[in-house]
Amino acid sequence: MVLPMSAHLPEIRARPGSVTLKVTDPGRALISGNCADIGKTKGPILRGLAARAPYFHNGSAATLSEAVEFYDQRFNVGFTDQEKQDLANFLATL
């Protein structure tokens, strides 16, 4: 699946060999310098998540339920109330 480039992000071109890659986030390649790492990222660690409130860089979500609600609204996921509660409960167990 090819996602459209975001108009507000700079486009970075990398040329590993004869292929030109256009990316907005080179990922791990910025650190390693290895073209094979273009687009690779390390996801956040969720272990012990419940003990690290508040959430987000600015602390705007005081609870896991508030964080789940944010993502549901931001990305128009459409969780039911039960699904939101189930997800918050699951995240609390990690």
Do 63 and 32 fall into the same domain? no
Which ranges constitute the DSSP H helices of the chain?
29-32, 64-74, 81-93
Q: What is the pLDDT of residue 1?
A: 45
Q: What is the pLDDT of residues 10-22, one digit of tens each?
A: 787 777 777 777 8
Do 2 and 37 fall into the same domain? yes
Do 88 and 67 fall into the same domain? yes
Do 58 and 77 fall into the same domain? yes
Q: Number of structural domains, the chain?
A: 2
What DSSP state is assigned to residue 19? -
Do 62 and 37 fall into the same domain? no
Burial of 18 (0-12, 13-18, 19+ CB in 10 A): exposed
Burial of 65 (0-12, 13-18, 19+ CB in 10 A): middle
Residue 72 has pLDDT above 90, yes or no: yes
**Portion of the chain with pLDDT greater than 70, in percent:** 89
The whole-number average pLDDT for the span 18-29 is 79
Do 57 and 31 fall into the same domain? no
Q: What is the pLDDT of residue 33?
A: 82
Domain that holds residue 37: 1-42
* Mean pLDDT, rounded, of the chain: 86
Residue 4 has pLDDT above 60, yes or no: no
